[in-house]
Amino acid sequence: MINQKDNSQTAIIERVTDYTPPHTFRSWLIGRPLSTADASHQTIGKIVGLAVFASDALSSTAYATQEILGVIAAAGTMAYGYLFPISLAIITLLAIVTISYEQTIHAYPGGGGAYIVARDNLGEMPAQTAGAALLTDYILTVSVSISAGVAQIVSAYPALFPYRVVIAVIAVFFIMLINLRGVKESGTAFAVPTYFS
């Protein structure tokens, strides 16, 4: 409702209601539904944003390097000569991604992901391709991250080896629940282990 007594140039819209949503198992598990008016309160700051968004690139780089080293070690000692060129390729790729992120931030200060940038500059089909690539990337990031984490847990506690699939499914379910709580809550939850690791 707009406050008519407000003489300032900008009218502030406030929602005034006595209704409180019922407390159900669903609302306890994933939180109450957020209205559009609450979207502005779901933003995250630079400290939480850095932990949330930088961890994706860091984890991908770490897992890729681990897998590359595993393949090279299996190939034999002659293959170690390829380590330096592969390292240069990874550094170049990280530099390209960093420069692209910086350009996107300056071009879209209000926020813009791969879909919006591709749609504005290339059209609808490249935008849908970018969106599909992001979905695939998210699925692969979660699966690789969970698999690596479960492998570390099983290596520390070998008795858990027969339960590694169950542990992985529980971890994926736990991450899903955290993400369903909203951007602000999930960002805070993911920032804590990032800064303490």
The token pair at 185 is 């809550």
Query: pLDDT grade, residue 42 (50/70/90)?
Result: low
Q: Give the residue from 117, 139, 142 showing the smallest Cα distance to 130.
A: 117
Q: What is the mean pLDDT of residues 133-159?
A: 87
Q: Do residues 114 and 134 make contact, with C-beta atoms less than 8 angstroms apart?
A: yes
Provide mean pLDDT across the span 141-156. Answer: 87
pLDDT of residue 89: 87
Per-residue pLDDT for 142 more than 90? no
Per-residue pLDDT of 63-73, as tens digits, reads 677 777 778 88
One-letter-per-residue 3-state SS of the chain: CECCCCCCCCCCECCCCCCCCCCCHHHHHHCCCCCHHHHHHHCCCHHHHHHHHHHHHHHHHHHHHHHHHHHHHHHCHHHHHHHHHHHHHHHHHHHHHHHHHHHHHHHCCCCCCHHHHHHHHCCHHHHHHHHHHHHHHHHHHHHHHHHHHHHHHHHHCHHHHHHHHHHHHHHHHHHHHHHHCCHHHHHHHHHHHHHHC
Return the pLDDT at 1: 47
Residue range 20-46: mean pLDDT, rounded: 67
* More confident position, 129 or 22: 129
Bigger pLDDT: 24 vs 90: 90
Q: Is the pTM of this model over 0.75?
A: no
pLDDT tens per residue across span 68-112: 777 888 887 788 888 888 888 888 988 888 888 888 888 887 777
Between 51 and 4, residue with greater pLDDT: 51
The Cα 197–Cα 185 span in angstroms is 19
Task: Please give the average per-residue pLDDT across 137-160, as a whole number.
Answer: 87
Question: Which of 60-64, 109-113, 152-156 tops mean pLDDT?
Answer: 152-156
Q: Which of 4-8, 51-55, 102-106, 181-185 has the lowest mean pLDDT?
A: 4-8
pLDDT at 78: 81
Cα torsion at 88, 89, 90, 93 (round to 10°)?
A: 120
CA 8 to chain centre: 39
